[in-house]
Structure 1
Amino acid sequence: MYSEEFNQFLNEISKEPLHVIDATNSLESYFPILISSKNKDLQSFDISSSAAWEIYINSFLNKHKAKIAFGGYLEKRNIYDRSDYFKNISENEKRNIHLGIDLWCCEKTKVLAVLDGEVHSFKNNNNFGDYGPTILLKHQIKKEIFYTLYGHLSLKSIESIKIGDTFLKGNSIGFLGDSSVNGDYAPHLHFQIIRDLQDNFGDYPGVSSKENIAFYKKNCPNPNLLLKLVR
């Protein structure tokens, strides 16, 4: 399938929003958030501090009477500058364009399989600023095979799973981790769709450089095609 055809395929999998976070939260409890330089609030605290981020996220949720803040697909972010893991030589090579959707909420929040699938791989990506514990599910619908990535989980989430384990849509696959294990971020889920894993195992780039974004935009479609959070 061409990328636009695949996007249409994803969008038509379900007419209703699909849950990737504890389904007891209604759509009304979600509120969009910007993590780019366009959000002037980010100038009011130390964005290199996960503790400061957690205070900000909790304040943001309280202000908007929400339980989950979401967003970030193809968003250019300065937050990655704090970690050498994302730095390269030139501005074009710097990885700072986000390829998934982030869902910011409380640690230990239940994370769900967005569709029926099986565990392709899992890993603790424990670089500073990385995913921490991560699970990749493989999905096949009709003849289409694709993958979903769930990052920033708790260590317990990957302790007892095995490659090939199957999960039905809506099954709990794990829980959100805290800053001590999730790459040093405020608790959140990084959720991403991937067409070609390119031989990756338990990991896949969640942030792209400007020079590579054309490829990643095609290989990592907008997760909102499944989640349908923007109405």
Structure 2
Amino acid sequence: MANKVFSQLLRELGKQSLYVLHPTISKSDYVSLDLSKFNKVLNTIDISSSETLERYINSHKKKHGAKVAFGGYLETRNIYQRSTYFKDATPETERNIHLGLDLWIAAETPVFTPLDAEVHSFKNNTNFGDYGPTIILKHTIDDIEFYTLYGHLSLASIENLKVGQTFTKGEQIATLGDSSVNGDYAPHLHFQIIKDMQDFVGDYPGVCSKKDLEFYKGNCLDPEILLRLE
């Protein structure tokens, strides 16, 4: 599938009212959040602690009168340095560039599919700093197939799930997990668009290295194209 065709499809879909959190949360209730290595405030707090990071994010939301903090697509972050799962020998191969959109909101918050879908796969990815419980949905629009990934969910979200199970647009698929199950993060949803799953099952890289960035930019487009939060 050519990137131009795929991008145009997502832009057209994004003209609809699509959501992954409850539609009663209006766009004015969202505030952008910078968790990049360029945010100097993060150098003054212990971002390796999920509790400290959660306090920082909640303070940011309170300051802006928001219910949800969001952002992170192609953001280079230092937070992954706490986990050997992302580390590598050189700066070029260290995985620290975020490929999805994060939506920071409380644990147990319901998660919805933005489009009609069927379950491609699911898994509890238990590496430290990983997704924890994860669901991947397959979408078919005008004979074009693509996928969306939902990471950092609750364990209950995948307990009774079945591959091939279908959901209609706007139907609840999951709830968010807390730090005890979600890879040790402040509660949030990692939402990612994937063009080609590359034979991954229940998992797909949500963070890449500088060396691999060009490939992943083409295979994982900005979720803002669908959700249009800004």
- Which TM-score band applies after superposition, normalised by the shorter structure? over 0.9
Cα distance, 1:21 vs structure 2: 1.0
Look up the SS of the partner of 1:164 in the other structure.
Answer: coil
Look up the SS of the partner of 2:215 in the other structure.
Answer: helix
Tell me what 1:2 maps to. 2
Look up the SS of the partner of 1:150 in the other structure.
Answer: strand
Measure the CA separation in 2 of the matches of 1:184 and 1:22.
Answer: 24
The answer on whether the counterparts of 2:101 and 2:192 sit within 8 Å (CA) in structure 1 is: yes
Tell me what 2:136 maps to. 136
Tell me what 1:206 maps to. 206
Measure the CA separation in 2 of the matches of 1:44 and 1:18.
Answer: 37
Measure the CA separation in 2 of the matches of 1:135 and 1:83.
Answer: 22
RMSD, aligned α-carbons: 0.9
Look up the SS of the partner of 2:212 in the other structure.
Answer: helix
Look up the SS of the partner of 2:190 in the other structure.
Answer: strand
User: Is 1:182 aligned to 2:154, yes or no?
Assistant: no
Tell me what 2:173 maps to. 173
Of all paired residues, the percent bearing the same amino acid is 60
Measure the CA separation in 2 of the matches of 1:192 and 1:121.
Answer: 14
Count of aligned positions: 230
Cα distance, 1:4 vs structure 2: 2.5
Tell me what 1:49 maps to. 49
Tell me what 1:191 maps to. 191
Cα distance, 1:43 vs structure 2: 2.1
The answer on whether the counterparts of 1:16 and 1:228 sit within 8 Å (CA) in structure 2 is: no
Tell me what 1:99 maps to. 99
Measure the CA separation in 2 of the matches of 1:14 and 1:132.
Answer: 28
Amino acid at match of 1:7: S
Look up the SS of the partner of 1:174 in the other structure.
Answer: strand
Question: Which sections of structure 1, spanning at least 5 residues, go unmatched?
Answer: none
Q: After superposition, give the CA deviation of every residue in 1:10-59 in whole Å (9 maximum; x if it has no partner).
A: 11014134101122201110000001022222123101000101111111
Query: Runs (4+) of structure 1 moved beyond 2 Å?
Result: none
- Of residues 11-20 and 115-124 in structure 1, the stretch that sits farther from structure 2 once superposed is 11-20
Cα distance, 1:185 vs structure 2: 0.1
Measure the CA separation in 2 of the matches of 1:214 and 1:17.
Answer: 30
Q: After superposition, give the CA deviation of every residue in 1:121-165 in whole Å (9 maximum; x if it has no partner).
A: 000001000000000000000110000000000000000111111
Q: After superposition, give the CA deviation of every residue in 1:195-223 in whole Å (9 maximum; x if it has no partner).
A: 11010000000001011111100000111
Tell me what 1:30 maps to. 30
The answer on whether the counterparts of 2:14 and 2:227 sit within 8 Å (CA) in structure 1 is: no
Look up the SS of the partner of 1:37 in the other structure.
Answer: coil
Question: Which sections of structure 2, spanning at least 5 residues, go unmatched?
Answer: none
TM normalised by structure 2 equals 0.98
Measure the CA separation in 1 of the matches of 2:79 and 2:160.
Answer: 32
Look up the SS of the partner of 1:133 in the other structure.
Answer: strand
Measure the CA separation in 1 of the matches of 2:78 and 2:14.
Answer: 34
TM normalised by structure 1 equals 0.97
The answer on whether the counterparts of 1:111 and 1:174 sit within 8 Å (CA) in structure 2 is: yes
The answer on whether the counterparts of 1:124 and 1:134 sit within 8 Å (CA) in structure 2 is: yes
Tell me what 2:69 maps to. 69
The answer on whether the counterparts of 1:147 and 1:194 sit within 8 Å (CA) in structure 2 is: yes
